[in-house]
């Protein structure tokens, strides 16, 4: 190994590992959080506690690993769509979006303009659906059952819209290589605007009952602070990154499809604590309403929504890497093609997997009681991380 490389392990991690090694001391206790824990999802992390303080944390994902990347190698580019949206069914428009972009670049397809707008709209709707679901779970994590009920109910607004648009409540297989599966139905635009207007009112109520609630702020403010430098070094993404003061959003950094025509602000906060990580998604949802209005406004009234594809499209040998901003941050597909209709290798780089590294970083040294508010604020979706 080269000599000039500096070791960048944290002091706290070193400390944690050391204490575990000397664990003859009876003070230390190792707990397994999950996978049966109602809040952890299909995910386990093993924490070692000294009294009330966590001294070591070891994430153990893989309970819902399905081998999506291996499955991709056995199916052609079109057959891959339905199973690729399984890792995150609430945000399936986004997880197929970057796949579509990658396949289009590989095969060389130009998407019709109306199709670009519709799939941007679908991805924004799914971002709302996902974020509301995440917020509902965050509410129940902190014992706030109203905050579980309200977003779960309001999520139906957008699920209804996606249902009208695609014919399915979740896992729509709507964003496909070449555009979208079908055009928008009659009256969809008005319905969409109505729901957005209602939802924006609700967002204010969320702030009143949840974010301005002293119980919530006491459990999250100043808890699990991720500094800007650490956020960059650990390579976290999405709302976790933006909560630490890095205004980075793929929609702005590398605009895809129609996002360079849309005027929006990248929402971010500087405090980097659990509160910021919970509040940035709310700001994102507000901004997303704004984006959806612009998409509906600028969308051409008629035109093709999908480019014609061969039954089994194939590209020249080569590789592509495309990414979009999903509900959990950057979502990238790296596809290697050997010139056949089936991909040679597909790598899904998901936000949840990238944010997982922040969990031991934040938990070591904090109290066990802070664990729920830190864990779920990381916008971590176990199924997506396992793929």
Partner 1 sequence: MGQEPKGKSDSVANIQSPPPKPTTSPPLSKKESESPPFEKEYISKIVSQFGEDKIRVAYIRPLRTKITVDSSYIIEIATFIRDNLGFDHAESVTGTDYPKDNQIEVIYQLGSYSKEDIAAHVLSLATRTNRDDARLPTLTNVFKSAEYHERETFEMLGVYFEGHPRNDRFLLPEDWADLPPLRKDFRIRGR
Binding site for partner 1 (CB under 8 A): 1-2, 4-9, 61-62, 65, 67, 69-71, 74, 104-106, 108-110, 114, 183-186, 231-235, 241, 246, 248, 253-254, 301-303, 305, 315-316, 318-321, 323, 330, 332, 334, 336, 344-345, 347, 349, 353-354, 356-357, 386-387
CB of 318 to partner 1, least distance (A): 4
Q: Which is nearer to partner 1, 167 or 318 (CB)?
A: 318
CB of 344 to partner 1, least distance (A): 7
CB of 226 to partner 1, least distance (A): 13
CB of 61 to partner 1, least distance (A): 6
Q: Which is nearer to partner 1, 70 or 194 (CB)?
A: 70
Whether the ω angle into residue 35 lies within 30 degrees of 0, i.e. cis, is: yes
Distance CA 81, CA 104 (A): 13
Q: Which is nearer to partner 1, 20 or 232 (CB)?
A: 232
What is the maximum alpha-carbon separation in the chain? 72
Q: Which of 343, 288, 270, 297 lies closest to 103 in space, CA to CA?
A: 343
Q: Which is nearer to partner 1, 264 or 334 (CB)?
A: 334
Q: How far is CA 105 from the centre of its chain?
A: 23
CB of 317 to partner 1, least distance (A): 8
Answer whether 233's CB lies under 8 Å from 7's CB.
Answer: no
Buried b (16+ CB within 10 A) or exposed e, 257-292: bbbeebeeebbbbebbbbbbbbbbbbbbbbbbbbbb
Q: Which is nearer to partner 1, 49 or 305 (CB)?
A: 305
Q: Which is nearer to partner 1, 224 or 329 (CB)?
A: 329
Distance CA 382, CA 42 (A): 6
CB of 276 to partner 1, least distance (A): 16
Handedness of CA 239, 245, 251, 254 (dihedral sign): negative
Q: Which is nearer to partner 1, 2 or 204 (CB)?
A: 2
CB of 329 to partner 1, least distance (A): 10
CB of 335 to partner 1, least distance (A): 10
Q: Which is nearer to partner 1, 106 or 157 (CB)?
A: 106
Give residue for tokens 């602070």. Answer: 225
Q: Checking DSSP bridges between strand 329-337 and strand 318-326, what pairing results, if any? A: antiparallel
Q: Is 265 left (phi over 0), alpha (psi -120 to 50) or beta?
A: beta
Q: Which is nearer to partner 1, 67 or 369 (CB)?
A: 67
φ and ψ at 164, to 5 degrees? -65, -35
C-alpha distances out from residue 190 to 185, 187, 348, Å: 11, 6, 36
Answer whether 327's CB lies under 8 Å from 349's CB.
Answer: no
The one-character DSSP state at 345 is: E
CB of 348 to partner 1, least distance (A): 9
């Amino acid at each position: 190994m080269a000599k000039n490389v500096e070791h960048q392990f944290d002091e706290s991690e070193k400390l944690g590992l050391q204490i575990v090694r000397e664990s003859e001391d009876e003070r230390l206790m190792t707990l397994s959080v999950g996978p049966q824990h109602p809040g952890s999802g299909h995910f386990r992390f093993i924490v070692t506690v000294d009294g009330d303080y966590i001294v070591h944390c070891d994430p153990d994902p893989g309970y819902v690993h399905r081998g999506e990347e291996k499955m991709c190698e056995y199916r052609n580019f079109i057959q891959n769509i339905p199973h690729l949206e399984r890792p995150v069914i609430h945000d399936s428009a986004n997880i197929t979006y970057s796949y579509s972009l990658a396949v289009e670049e590989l095969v060389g397809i130009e998407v019709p303009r109306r199709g670009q707008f519709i799939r941007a709209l679908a991805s924004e709707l799914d971002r709302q659906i996902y974020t509301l679901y995440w917020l509902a779970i965050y509410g129940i994590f902190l014992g706030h059952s109203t905050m579980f009920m309200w977003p779960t109910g309001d999520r139906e607004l957008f699920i209804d819209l996606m249902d009208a648009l695609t014919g399915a409540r979740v896992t729509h297989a709507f964003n496909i290589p070449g555009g979208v599966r079908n055009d928008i139905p009659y009256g969809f635009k008005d319905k969409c605007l109505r729901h957005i207007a209602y939802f924006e009112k609700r967002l204010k109520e969320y702030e009143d009952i949840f974010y301005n609630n002293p119980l919530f702020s006491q459990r999250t403010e100043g808890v699990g602070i991720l500094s800007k430098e650490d956020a960059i070094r650990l390579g976290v993404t999405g709302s976790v990154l933006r909560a630490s003061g890095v205004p980075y959003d793929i929609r702005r950094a590398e605009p895809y499809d129609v996002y360079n025509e849309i005027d929006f602000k990248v929402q971010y906060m500087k405090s980097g604590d659990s509160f910021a990580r919970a509040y940035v998604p709310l700001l994102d949802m507000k901004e997303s309403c704004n984006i959806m209005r612009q998409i509906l406004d600028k969308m051409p009234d008629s035109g093709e929504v999908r480019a014609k594809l061969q039954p089994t499209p194939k590209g020249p040998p080569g590789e592509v890497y495309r990414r979009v901003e999903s509900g959990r941050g950057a979502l990238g597909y790296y596809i290697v093609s050997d010139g056949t209709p089936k991909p040679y290798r597909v790598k899904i780089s998901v936000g949840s997997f990238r944010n997982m590294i922040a969990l031991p970083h934040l938990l070591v040294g904090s109290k066990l009681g802070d664990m729920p508010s830190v864990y779920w604020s990381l916008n971590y979706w176990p199924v997506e991380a396992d793929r």
